[in-house]
Amino acid sequence: MKNDTLHSEATALDNRIAIKACEPSDMEAFTAIMSLPGVRRGTLQLGYRNVAQITAWHERRLGKGVTVGAWLDGQLVGHAGLSVYPRARSHGAELGICVHDAYHGQGVGTALVRALIDSADGALGLRRIELTVFADNAPAIALYRKFGFVEEGRSRGYALRDGVLADVLHMARLAEAPAFAPITPITPL
């Protein structure tokens, strides 16, 4: 019964999550999320940055990609983005995501990743999305696997977290090649 209640609460929350493009006016709320203890521990980003620093980072990192926010009852509860690679790697992008500490496990991450994959596969025409995740972050790894990401490698002692070197997994998702309609030859008149 308890699992049924949790599932129905998560489903109800998922239906109330609004995904939309992030605006410059969202940077203050995004900065607050980036400084939360769980976000600082679960991402490969530095916490405790001010709005100007987050805004500059955001513009540099995601200026050539897509960035979205998850909103619930008028509050930003998550953020995610695709940073599209240049030149020979322009078919791919790196995914980054953070969810407010109070909303983990409630469908926010699922809504964000779904929106980015829809954009990557559709409008952007990307064939590869990759990410790096701490090897002990089982909920995030499960989320990525749900969307077809697979582990491609492990880097030992990759990042300093809480004063200890931590391993990360490199994961990626390859999209199916688009089906093209056969070209009908033009008959000369």
Q: Which two tokens stand for residue 12?
A: 């109800």
Handedness of CA 99, 45, 173, 182 (dihedral sign): positive
For residue 99, the enclosing domain spans 2-128
When the pLDDT of each residue in the chain is averaged and rounded to a whole number, the result is 87
Separation in Å, CA 5 to CA 71, 104, 105, 107: 23, 16, 14, 14
**Does residue 165 have a pLDDT over 80?**
yes
Residue 65's pLDDT is 87
Whether residue 78 is contained in a domain is answered as yes
Taking 80 as the threshold, does the pLDDT of residue 8 lie above it? no
At 115 the three-state DSSP class reads helix
Q: Which two tokens stand for residue 79?
A: 């953020």
Secondary structure (DSSP) of 10-70: HHHHHHH-EEEE--GGGHHHHHHHHTSHHHHHHSSS--S--HHHHHHHHHHHHTTEEEEEE
CATH number at residue 24: 3.40.630.30
Would 87 be classed as within a structural domain?
yes
Minimum mean pLDDT among 56-70, 97-111, 164-178: which range?
Answer: 56-70
Instruction: Give residue-wise pLDDT tens across range 134-153.
Output: 999 999 999 999 999 999 99
Q: Is residue 61 part of a domain?
A: yes
- Residue 12: predicted pLDDT: 45
Task: Give the model's pLDDT for residue 46.
Answer: 76
Rounded to the nearest angstrom, the gap between the alpha carbon of residue 140 and the centroid of all alpha carbons in its chain is 10
In a domain, 172, yes or no: no
Give which of 36, 159, 173, 20 is closest to 94, Cα–Cα.
Answer: 173
How many separate domains does the chain show?
1
Q: What is the pLDDT of residue 187?
A: 67
Q: Is residue 34 part of a domain?
A: yes
Q: Measure the CA angle with vertex 59, ends 55 and 64; round to 5°.
A: 160
**CB neighbourhood size of 96 (10 A):** 20
